[in-house]
Protein backbone atom coordinates (compact mmCIF):
# COMPACT_ATOMS: atom_id res chain seq x y z
CA UNK A 1 0.00 0.00 0.00
CA UNK A 2 1.54 3.30 -1.14
CA UNK A 3 -0.06 5.29 1.67
CA UNK A 4 -2.29 3.84 4.34
CA UNK A 5 -5.99 4.43 3.76
CA UNK A 6 -6.78 4.78 7.48
CA UNK A 7 -3.98 7.04 8.67
CA UNK A 8 -2.47 8.49 5.49
CA UNK A 9 1.01 7.28 6.52
CA UNK A 10 3.28 7.14 3.46
CA UNK A 11 5.11 3.85 2.98
CA UNK A 12 8.72 3.63 1.63
CA UNK A 13 7.73 1.75 -1.52
CA UNK A 14 10.99 2.41 -3.39
CA UNK A 15 13.08 1.02 -0.53
CA UNK A 16 10.79 -1.99 -0.06
CA UNK A 17 10.87 -2.84 -3.77
CA UNK A 18 14.67 -2.64 -3.74
CA UNK A 19 14.91 -4.99 -0.76
CA UNK A 20 12.56 -7.51 -2.40
CA UNK A 21 14.43 -7.52 -5.70
CA UNK A 22 17.84 -7.76 -4.04
CA UNK A 23 16.68 -10.75 -2.01
CA UNK A 24 15.34 -12.50 -5.12
CA UNK A 25 15.68 -10.95 -8.57
CA UNK A 26 12.87 -13.23 -9.78
CA UNK A 27 10.34 -11.72 -7.37
CA UNK A 28 7.53 -9.48 -8.58
CA UNK A 29 6.66 -6.44 -6.49
CA UNK A 30 3.13 -5.01 -6.61
CA UNK A 31 1.99 -1.87 -4.80
CA UNK A 32 -1.58 -0.88 -4.04
CA UNK A 33 -1.40 2.81 -4.96
CA UNK A 34 -5.15 3.44 -4.82
CA UNK A 35 -4.75 6.18 -2.19
CA UNK A 36 -1.86 7.86 -3.99
CA UNK A 37 -2.59 7.97 -7.72
CA UNK A 38 -3.91 11.38 -8.71
CA UNK A 39 -2.71 12.91 -5.43
CA UNK A 40 1.03 12.20 -5.45
CA UNK A 41 3.68 12.40 -8.16
CA UNK A 42 4.48 8.81 -9.10
CA UNK A 43 7.29 7.52 -11.33
CA UNK A 44 7.00 3.74 -11.62
CA UNK A 45 10.50 3.45 -13.06
CA UNK A 46 12.01 5.36 -10.16
CA UNK A 47 10.01 3.32 -7.64
CA UNK A 48 11.19 0.07 -9.22
CA UNK A 49 7.79 -1.62 -8.93
CA UNK A 50 6.68 -4.40 -11.25
CA UNK A 51 2.96 -3.69 -10.89
CA UNK A 52 0.85 -0.85 -9.54
CA UNK A 53 -2.92 -0.68 -9.17
CA UNK A 54 -5.24 2.33 -9.01
CA UNK A 55 -8.96 3.00 -8.63
CA UNK A 56 -10.65 5.86 -10.47
CA UNK A 57 -13.07 6.95 -7.75
CA UNK A 58 -10.10 7.93 -5.58
CA UNK A 59 -9.17 10.68 -8.03
CA UNK A 60 -12.72 11.85 -8.85
CA UNK A 61 -13.30 9.38 -11.69
CA UNK A 62 -16.22 6.96 -12.09
CA UNK A 63 -16.70 4.20 -9.52
CA UNK A 64 -16.07 0.68 -10.76
CA UNK A 65 -13.13 1.57 -13.00
CA UNK A 66 -9.43 1.31 -12.39
CA UNK A 67 -6.18 0.26 -13.99
CA UNK A 68 -3.18 -1.97 -13.42
CA UNK A 69 0.31 -0.92 -14.50
CA UNK A 70 2.43 -3.92 -15.53
CA UNK A 71 6.13 -3.47 -16.22
CA UNK A 72 7.40 -4.55 -19.63
CA UNK A 73 8.59 -8.15 -19.48
CA UNK A 74 6.47 -8.96 -16.45
CA UNK A 75 4.38 -12.02 -17.29
CA UNK A 76 0.94 -12.42 -15.72
CA UNK A 77 -1.97 -14.73 -16.49
CA UNK A 78 -5.13 -13.46 -18.24
CA UNK A 79 -7.82 -12.20 -15.87
CA UNK A 80 -10.67 -13.27 -18.17
CA UNK A 81 -10.23 -15.55 -21.17
CA UNK A 82 -12.47 -15.49 -24.22
CA UNK A 83 -12.61 -12.95 -27.02
CA UNK A 84 -9.06 -11.72 -26.62
CA UNK A 85 -9.75 -8.08 -25.83
CA UNK A 86 -7.13 -5.96 -24.04
CA UNK A 87 -4.24 -7.93 -25.53
CA UNK A 88 -5.79 -11.23 -24.44
CA UNK A 89 -5.59 -10.19 -20.78
CA UNK A 90 -9.23 -9.32 -20.05
CA UNK A 91 -11.80 -10.52 -22.53
CA UNK A 92 -15.22 -8.91 -22.80
CA UNK A 93 -16.70 -5.63 -23.99
CA UNK A 94 -14.62 -2.71 -22.80
CA UNK A 95 -16.19 0.05 -20.74
CA UNK A 96 -15.08 2.78 -23.12
CA UNK A 97 -16.99 5.57 -21.36
CA UNK A 98 -15.57 4.57 -17.98
CA UNK A 99 -12.04 4.26 -19.34
CA UNK A 100 -12.18 7.69 -20.97
CA UNK A 101 -13.69 9.34 -17.89
CA UNK A 102 -11.03 7.73 -15.70
CA UNK A 103 -8.23 8.96 -17.95
CA UNK A 104 -9.69 12.47 -18.06
CA UNK A 105 -10.08 12.62 -14.26
CA UNK A 106 -6.51 11.43 -13.77
CA UNK A 107 -5.23 14.00 -16.25
CA UNK A 108 -7.07 16.83 -14.49
CA UNK A 109 -5.92 15.81 -11.01
CA UNK A 110 -2.33 15.33 -12.14
CA UNK A 111 -2.25 18.76 -13.76
CA UNK A 112 -3.59 20.34 -10.55
CA UNK A 113 -1.50 18.42 -8.00
CA UNK A 114 0.22 21.42 -6.43
CA UNK A 115 -2.95 23.53 -6.30
CA UNK A 116 -5.03 20.69 -4.82
CA UNK A 117 -2.35 19.83 -2.28
CA UNK A 118 -2.16 23.42 -1.05
CA UNK A 119 -5.94 23.80 -0.84
CA UNK A 120 -6.39 20.53 1.06
CA UNK A 121 -3.54 21.39 3.45
CA UNK A 122 -5.19 24.72 4.28
CA UNK A 123 -8.48 22.96 5.03
CA UNK A 124 -6.76 20.28 7.14
CA UNK A 125 -4.89 22.91 9.16
CA UNK A 126 -8.14 24.82 9.67
CA UNK A 127 -9.89 21.68 10.96
CA UNK A 128 -7.22 20.88 13.53
CA UNK A 129 -6.88 24.49 14.71
CA UNK A 130 -10.66 24.87 15.14
CA UNK A 131 -10.85 21.67 17.21
CA UNK A 132 -8.10 22.98 19.47
CA UNK A 133 -9.76 26.40 19.67
CA UNK A 134 -12.95 24.71 20.91
CA UNK A 135 -11.01 22.77 23.58
CA UNK A 136 -11.70 19.37 22.02
CA UNK A 137 -9.32 16.77 23.46
CA UNK A 138 -8.15 14.63 20.55
CA UNK A 139 -5.15 12.64 19.36
CA UNK A 140 -3.94 12.75 15.76
CA UNK A 141 -2.99 9.14 15.15
CA UNK A 142 0.34 8.74 13.30
CA UNK A 143 1.15 12.42 13.88
CA UNK A 144 4.89 11.67 14.02
CA UNK A 145 4.95 9.87 10.65
CA UNK A 146 5.08 11.21 7.12
CA UNK A 147 1.42 11.48 6.11
CA UNK A 148 -0.50 12.22 2.96
CA UNK A 149 -2.38 15.50 3.09
CA UNK A 150 -6.13 15.11 3.52
CA UNK A 151 -6.29 11.76 5.33
CA UNK A 152 -6.72 12.38 9.06
CA UNK A 153 -7.28 9.78 11.77
CA UNK A 154 -8.46 11.37 15.02
CA UNK A 155 -9.31 9.85 18.40
CA UNK A 156 -11.52 11.92 20.71
CA UNK A 157 -11.35 11.52 24.49
CA UNK A 158 -14.42 9.76 25.97
CA UNK A 159 -16.16 9.62 22.59
CA UNK A 160 -17.52 6.55 20.82
CA UNK A 161 -16.23 6.73 17.26
CA UNK A 162 -19.15 4.83 15.76
CA UNK A 163 -21.66 6.97 17.64
CA UNK A 164 -19.97 10.09 16.29
CA UNK A 165 -20.01 8.61 12.78
CA UNK A 166 -23.80 8.05 12.92
CA UNK A 167 -24.44 11.53 14.29
CA UNK A 168 -22.38 13.09 11.51
CA UNK A 169 -24.18 10.94 8.94
CA UNK A 170 -27.49 12.44 10.08
CA UNK A 171 -26.02 15.84 9.21
CA UNK A 172 -24.88 14.60 5.76
CA UNK A 173 -21.23 14.43 6.78
CA UNK A 174 -19.44 11.25 5.72
CA UNK A 175 -16.53 9.95 7.80
CA UNK A 176 -15.46 6.39 8.56
CA UNK A 177 -14.25 4.22 11.40
CA UNK A 178 -11.46 1.85 10.41
CA UNK A 179 -11.21 1.06 6.73
CA UNK A 180 -14.05 2.32 4.54
CA UNK A 181 -13.39 -0.67 2.27
CA UNK A 182 -14.35 -3.00 5.12
CA UNK A 183 -17.29 -1.16 6.62
CA UNK A 184 -19.06 -4.30 7.89
CA UNK A 185 -16.13 -5.33 10.08
CA UNK A 186 -16.84 -4.36 13.69
CA UNK A 187 -13.44 -5.48 14.96
CA UNK A 188 -10.96 -2.79 16.10
CA UNK A 189 -8.80 -1.37 13.33
CA UNK A 190 -5.92 -3.77 12.70
CA UNK A 191 -3.87 -0.81 11.46
CA UNK A 192 -4.17 1.12 14.72
CA UNK A 193 -3.68 -2.10 16.72
CA UNK A 194 -0.43 -2.77 14.84
CA UNK A 195 0.68 0.78 15.65
CA UNK A 196 0.23 0.04 19.35
CA UNK A 197 -2.68 2.44 19.80
CA UNK A 198 -4.66 1.62 23.01
CA UNK A 199 -8.01 -0.04 22.36
CA UNK A 200 -10.05 2.76 23.98
CA UNK A 201 -8.30 5.23 21.68
CA UNK A 202 -9.08 3.03 18.68
CA UNK A 203 -12.76 2.87 19.65
CA UNK A 204 -12.90 6.66 19.69
CA UNK A 205 -11.20 7.09 16.32
CA UNK A 206 -12.69 8.33 13.07
CA UNK A 207 -11.08 8.85 9.68
CA UNK A 208 -11.74 12.14 7.93
CA UNK A 209 -10.89 12.47 4.23
CA UNK A 210 -10.56 15.88 2.62
CA UNK A 211 -10.83 16.29 -1.14
CA UNK A 212 -10.38 19.11 -3.61
CA UNK A 213 -14.11 19.88 -3.60
CA UNK A 214 -14.28 20.41 0.15
CA UNK A 215 -14.43 23.94 1.54
CA UNK A 216 -13.76 25.91 4.72
CA UNK A 217 -17.54 25.98 5.21
CA UNK A 218 -17.50 22.18 5.32
CA UNK A 219 -14.94 22.37 8.12
CA UNK A 220 -17.09 24.81 10.08
CA UNK A 221 -20.06 22.46 9.85
CA UNK A 222 -17.98 19.41 10.80
CA UNK A 223 -16.39 21.13 13.80
CA UNK A 224 -19.76 22.43 14.99
CA UNK A 225 -21.20 18.90 14.97
CA UNK A 226 -18.15 17.37 16.68
CA UNK A 227 -18.20 20.05 19.39
CA UNK A 228 -21.88 19.36 20.17
CA UNK A 229 -21.40 15.59 20.30
CA UNK A 230 -18.17 15.88 22.30
CA UNK A 231 -19.66 18.23 24.90
CA UNK A 232 -22.79 16.08 25.34
CA UNK A 233 -20.75 12.88 25.66
CA UNK A 234 -18.26 14.32 28.14
CA UNK A 235 -20.98 16.03 30.17
CA UNK A 236 -22.86 12.75 30.52
CA UNK A 237 -19.71 10.77 31.33
For domain 113-236, give the CATH number.
Answer: 3.90.1150.10
Sorted by sequence, the CB contacts under 8 Å of residue 178 that are 6+ apart come out as 6, 185, 188, 189, 191, 207
Q: Which residues of 90-108 are buried (b: 16+ CB within 10 A; e: fewer)?
A: beeeeeeebeebbeebbee
Active-site residue identified among 146, 181, 193, 232 = 181
Q: What is the pTM for the complete model shown?
A: 0.85
Q: Supply the pLDDT for residue 206.
A: 96
Name the residue ranges covered by the structural domains of the chain: 13-111, 113-236
- Element at 16 (helix H, strand E): helix 13-23
Domain 13-111 has CATH 3.40.640.10: yes
Q: What is the pLDDT along the chain (237 residues), one digit of tens a residue?
A: 678 889 999 999 999 999 999 999 899 999 999 999 999 999 999 999 999 999 999 999 999 999 999 999 998 898 899 988 888 888 999 899 999 999 999 999 999 999 999 999 999 999 999 999 999 999 999 887 888 899 999 999 999 999 999 999 999 999 998 654 555 556 788 899 989 999 999 999 999 999 999 999 999 999 999 999 999 888 755
Question: Would you call 47 helix, strand, or coil by DSSP?
Answer: helix
Is residue 181 flagged as an active site residue? yes
Amino acid sequence: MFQNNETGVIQPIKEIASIVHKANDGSLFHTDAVQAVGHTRIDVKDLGVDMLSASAHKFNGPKGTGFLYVKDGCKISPFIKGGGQERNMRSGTENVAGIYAMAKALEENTNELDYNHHKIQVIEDKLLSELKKNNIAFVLNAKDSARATGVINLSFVNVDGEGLLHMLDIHDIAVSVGSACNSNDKEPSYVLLAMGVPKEQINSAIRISIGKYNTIEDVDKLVSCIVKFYNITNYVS
